[in-house]
Structure 1
Amino acid sequence: MSLPIVVIGGGLSGLYAAHLLEQAGQRVLLIEARERLGGRILSRGHADDRHRLDLGPSWFWPAMNPLVAGLVSTLGLDAFAQHTQGAAAIEGPDGQVHRQQVTWQQSPASYRIAGGMQRLIEGLQTRLEGKVHILTGTRVASLKLRPHAVELDLQDAFGAWTQQAAQVVLTIPPRLTAQDLQMEPTWPPQLVQQMRDTPSWMAGQAKFVAVYPRAFWREAGWSGTAMSHRGPLAEIHDASDASGETAALFGFVGATPAYRTGIGIGIGIGQDAVTRQALAQLQRIFGEQAGSPLWTAVQDWAEEPLTAAASDRQPLARHPLYDAGTVPQAWAQRLWLAGTERSANAGGYLEGALESAALAVQELLAQRSRTPGTNASEHERTLP
């Protein structure tokens, strides 16, 4: 039996790459270090909630994101425009709230997915079931280039083992690649430094969500959109479902990862304090009812070692400039790079995750068609 193509990383980019490869008739193994799939896509709700709150990315823009829009359509998912009807709030450094009668509109309009962005992950996972072998809870320690394969050293709950791959699609962020993966032969120091210098998008960010019995802010003429110069939430939006029946607000936490978590300074305020401060802020802006949510959640991505490298815990001054990246010539026939940080056109966005995966798969398949005999027999622990 021929060796599989191994996709490293079970986020949106990795799942999409595995889907495209499977559709092209390839044998695929997908490896994910987390126990769950999705990477930075994470949606949470109570057991009886059909609407889930996005603790990672929330939006896509159909007018600018044709790949995401196409995938939403292919998977049969429902999307709806971000709620912006009503007044916006601007909170000054002193906590004074200023009402702006009309909320600023995004152009083009941003959309959310009914049931949470995780529906993209679940939809792709369903399409891969029985076709692609998926290993979660499995870390890749090293990649070793062999004459006719790439050898992966893996670690799971049962111990260390190896897997041979015909080719590899690597979708984890560049910084984590440089920090956590050993390459044999080693990559040039300049190339490794370039990866270390590439920020992982939103890896230092935290999000706060609060769910309420009803959207009381809408009843008071607020859209749920607010900007704050005081915090802890720097930017707030309505996170309710399309009908408004499941009422929710979410905000991006403006405080630094060091202040939140204590990483690098010793003691941070912690998630309980973030929650208390966020609810106090929502009360200042939207009234007393904001202090009595049904439930809340904080997702601090800076605390996730499978998302944030140590250098990702510094605030970003601007949106990074991403590019497709390069691999050393010796690896050019065996390894392709994907992931949102590998997209020059849409880096940092869901569109970038899909775009880079599609390009990597296209180039990999083209190489396979040009080079016969790229497979070798498997040995040691193999796929079922």
Structure 2
Amino acid sequence: MMSVETVDTLIVGGGLSGIYAAWLLSRKNTSFVVLEARERIGGRILCPGYQGFFSDLGPSWYWPAIHPKITHLIETLGLNSYPQFETGLGRFQRSDGAVQTVRGYPMEPPSRRLFGGMHSLIRKLREGIPENAVRCNHPVCDIEKTVGGILVSVGELEKPPWARFRANQLILALPPRLAAATILFTPELSHQLTQAMLKIGTWMAGQAKFSAIYDEPFWRQTGLSGQAFSERGPLGEIHDGSNHDKGPFGLTGFVGIPAAQRNQTATLTDAIMAQLAVIFGAQAARPTAFFYQDWARERFTATTFDQPPMYTHPQYHVPAGRSAIWDGTCHFAGTETADVQGGYLEGALGAAERAVMNILG
């Protein structure tokens, strides 16, 4: 018979919300385990490195004026940040392909980036969590409420599980839509709750992002900020994605075409290079490194419901007005369930704090 590991609290999902919840619990006299489906922690925070610089292919920015939680956490952890570079003019590409220089559109309020990429936040939080408390390559397939607590199975649906855990409390630190679409709940969740979970769109799940790295910031040298918008594509939005005041330098941004049309990566990469050359000059088509991430192709981020693009930022909330179910033993976390700033890093922290506070009382 398969042994069952028992802890006080199980956290499903090792993105920012789950890792922050674990960090908060590690400061209390309580046992916990984080179950992460991927081979890495961080979730939608992904930062490939090149010559000591880490490109953000997930969230890039935080806004100190409106994001007090993450601002305070960054200071508490001793991390350093720098302002998003926005000095200079912008570029705009019309639907006919013509490009013109326009005044820049600085973010308001001003945004900042982290040295080491946003993953430096995950790495620093991980240092405060017991080594064996985080289990990667542990996809949860079944969550069952039992007389003795909550039983969680790891593996694939419709196949025998290969690991089981039991806990008194559980934190669902993953997007509600992903949980509803990929995890079997016993007893079955109500139709109203399941539909509410499926209707909450996963932020970034339908998006794709690129980062092109260069030895010199040639756009800055011609008075450009690196910011550009396009009605033509494939890129719809571009920003300076450089290190602070030294190389390497970079351009980064978002693909503007729908996920269903992004099925030829090599062809899309060629189109991105051609567009960068049109907007910023021939040198832009010759990066020293290039990174691309299509979140719609990530099985532990997106579902088939996430393929249509989001054109506006949703108003996020807990599903069906409930922050916890099963007599207060299963708690929703993850940025899509935040009371404020849902979809942002700030929301991920707020949702984790709420879940942990409800558990600890």
Question: 1:4 is paired with a residue of what secondary structure?
Answer: strand
Structure 1 counterpart of 2:315 = 321
Could you tell me whether the CA contact under 8 Å between 1:87 and 1:222 is conserved in 2?
yes
CA 1:328 to 1:65, structure 2 compared with 1: closer, same or farther past 3 Å?
A: closer
- Match for 1:283: what amino acid? A
The answer as to whether partners of 2:207 and 2:296 remain within 8 angstroms in 1 is: yes
Listed as ranges, the gaps of 5+ residues in structure 1 are 262-269, 367-384
Equivalent residues of 1:275, 1:296 under 8 A apart: no
TM-score (structure 1 length as normaliser): 0.89
- Cα pair distance change 1:329/1:201, threshold 3 Å: closer
SS at match of 1:43: coil
Paired with 1:333 and 1:291, the residues of 2 have a C-alpha distance of 54
Per-residue CA deviations over 1:12-53 (Å, capped at 9, x if unaligned) read 00000011111122111111000000000000123xx22110
- State the AA in 1 paired with 2:105: W
TM-score, normalising length: structure 2: 0.94
**Counterpart of 2:78 in structure 1: which amino acid?**
G
**Is contact 2:26-2:130 (8 Å) kept?**
no
Partners of 1:240 and 1:329 in 2: CA distance: 41
Contact 1:212–1:248 (CA under 8 A) maintained in structure 2: yes
Q: Considering only aligned residues, what root-mean-square deviation do their CA atoms show, in Å?
A: 1.7
Kept after mapping to 1: 8 A contact 2:177/2:199: yes
Residues 208-261 of structure 1 deviation map (CA, whole Å, 9 limit, x = unaligned): 111111000000111000011111110000000001421100120001100002
Separation in structure 1 between the aligned mates of residue 82 and residue 162 of structure 2, nearest angstrom: 45
Given residue 178 of structure 2, which amino acid in structure 1 is its aligned partner? L
Cα distance per residue 1:155-208 (max 9 Å; x no partner): 29x961221111101111111111111111111111101111110001000001
Any idea what SS the aligned residue of 1:19 has?
helix
| Structure 1 outlier segments of 4+, above 2 Å | 1-4, 324-330
Deviations 1:45-68 (A, max 9, x none): 23xx22110000000001111111
Q: CA deviation at 1:3?
A: 3.1
Name the residue aligned to 2:303: 309
> How far apart in 2 are the matches of 1:210 and 1:71?
29
Q: Say which SS state the counterpart of residue 14 (structure 2) adopts.
A: coil
| CA apart distance, 1:328 | 9.8
Q: Is the 8 A contact 2:324 2:330 kept in 1?
A: no
Please tell me the residue identity of whatever aligns with 1:364: I
In 2, Cα distance between equivalents of 1:2 and 1:278: 49
Correspondence for 2:40 = 36
Q: Which residue of 1 aligns with 2:152?
A: 152
Instruction: Name the CA distance, whole Å, in 1 between partners of 2:66 and 2:323.
Output: 33
Which residue pairs with 1:75 in the alignment? Answer: 77
Following the alignment from structure 2 to structure 1, what is the Cα–Cα distance between the partners of residues 52 and 77? Answer: 17
Aligned residues: 353
Identify the residue that residue 364 of structure 1 maps to in structure 2: 359
Provide the rounded CA distance (Å) in 2 between the counterparts of 1:313 and 1:362. Answer: 34
Structure 1 equivalent of residue 115 of structure 2: 114
Within 2, Cα distance between the matches of 1:335 and 1:7? 10
Summarize the Cα distance change of 1:114–1:74 in structure 2 as closer, same or farther, 3 Å threshold.
Answer: same
Residues 321 and 344, structure 1, Cα contact 8 Å, conserved in 2: no
Residue of structure 2 in register with 1:168 after alignment = 170
Distance 2:170 2:153 in 1: 13
- Residues of 2 paired with 1:119 and 1:227: CA distance? 29
What one-letter code is carried by the residue in structure 2 that aligns with 1:173? Answer: P
CA distance in 2, matches of 1:111, 1:317: 23
Residue 318 of structure 1: how far off its partner (Å): 1.7
